[in-house]
Copies of this chain bind each other. A is one copy, B any other.
Amino acid sequence: MAAARLTSRDIRSESRLVVVRALLAAGGSTRNELAEATGLSLGTVSTIVQDLLKYEIIAETGPVHGGIGRPTTGLRLNADRGRVVGFYLEDRYLEATVFDAALGELSTVEATSEEPVEDADDVIEWIVGALDDALGKAKASREDILGVGILLPGGMQRPVKAETVPSAIWLHLDRLRDRLGLPVVVDNPLKAIATAQLWLGAGRRSANVVAVSLGIGVGAGIIQDGVVVRGATNAAGEWGHSLLAFEGRRCRCGRDGCVEAYVGLPGIQRTLAEIAPGHPLAGDRDDWTFASDLAAAVESGDPAAIATVERSAHYLGAALTDLVAILNPEVITLSGWADAPASRERVLPIVRQRVLADAPGDAAAGLAIEISPRCGMEGIAAIALERFMRDVGLVTTRVIPAL
């Protein structure tokens, strides 16, 4: 479909989000400072502040004494406006995090299951249980909740297979919504990490950011011109399933040679197995403990572990160069396994050198590659907060992808 046209009403809506994000970035601010930070006129900012005060999205903090003239009124996000809850689901693992309305984390709970949780009713009760646990830990109740966000991989189409956790949620979202009695938004994790950078990370200072997530799977959330790139069916960012090596290693997606088969954690184990067949850490473990075990081996001077990390850094640098060639970002953020001391010391220098050497022309000349702690959970909370602002009529433009 063709791009929808913006109206003046949409502009006001976008500007409200801009002001909310600027206030979040500043912590506390004044109308004048917000006008300066956003480039909006003081009149526009004042109107927006009125709207946001009316719905208690923001609050006044009392007089602020500047250098000259009479004191102005301080403003901040109204953290106590309510709570938003983010969920991350796999078939044996569930995580729920409660945030306040200024995206401050209040509590997080994890639940694991010996057996995959696949039945829709079981999944729903699992979520409900985790929600109550997390709310209890945060001393909050369901009445406080402005919205719930769930991270689910994939595009907009619901999956055909019914026997996975994501499928159970996609196929039974209405039942989950009824059971919770709360607004529920579902989005793709890559869109969530891009949104987290937009609200809380590199997106505050740059309009062109790629947020790379490195775990068992790998992917990229893309911000172009200050907007999260979603693609035609919300499936953009699957850089992990772009090619590193034609007819290379078989990826779990079924394609041969994907980036993920080299820089996802199981891929790094395969590199170790190539370098040192029979190494105690080599194998195909589908969990995060490999990352810390490998870091410990590097720390102890294990040459195979060191060679593995270095070769993986070359793979990562090559794969990031592709993002630079295609998207020409100003900032690339790395989260996941890159956010560890061993990685900062050994991986980042190789990655930076490789990208600078291989990127076409001057595409990487002004590029920053940095570690970021921002995660998809914060992004889905921000998306749930956007959704709440839409429900009260403050935001008109954002199309919340799932249902």
Knowing A155-B363, A231-B224, A233-B328, the reply to whether A243 touches B11 (Cβ < 8 A) is no
B366 touches A235 (CB 8 A): no
Could you say which of A85-93, A171-179, A203-211, A282-290 contacts chain B?
A: A203-211
A149 CB, nearest partner CB in chain B, Å = 20
B362 touches A242 (CB 8 A): no
Near B by CB (< 8 A), chain A positions 47-71 give none
A177 CB, nearest partner CB in chain B, Å = 23
In the assembly, how many copies of this chain are there? 2
* Number of A positions contacting B (CB below 8 A): 73
Tell me the dominant secondary structure on chain A's binding face. loop
Find A362's partner among B235, B248, B322 (CB 8 Å cutoff): B235
Residues of B within 8 A of A329 (CB): 231-232
Closest to A18 in B: B5
B235 touches A361 (CB 8 A): yes
Knowing A328-B235, A365-B157, the reply to whether A245 touches B245 (Cβ < 8 A) is yes
Residues of B within 8 A of A231 (CB): 208, 224, 327-329, 363
A181 CB, nearest partner CB in chain B, Å = 31
A314 CB, nearest partner CB in chain B, Å = 9
A130 CB, nearest partner CB in chain B, Å = 26
Judged by a CB distance under 8 angstroms, whether A132 is at the interface is no
Query: What 9 pairs across the A-B complex have the smallest Cβ distances?
Result: A231-B328, A3-B226, A242-B322, A3-B207, A232-B330, A241-B360, A236-B328, A235-B363, A238-B325
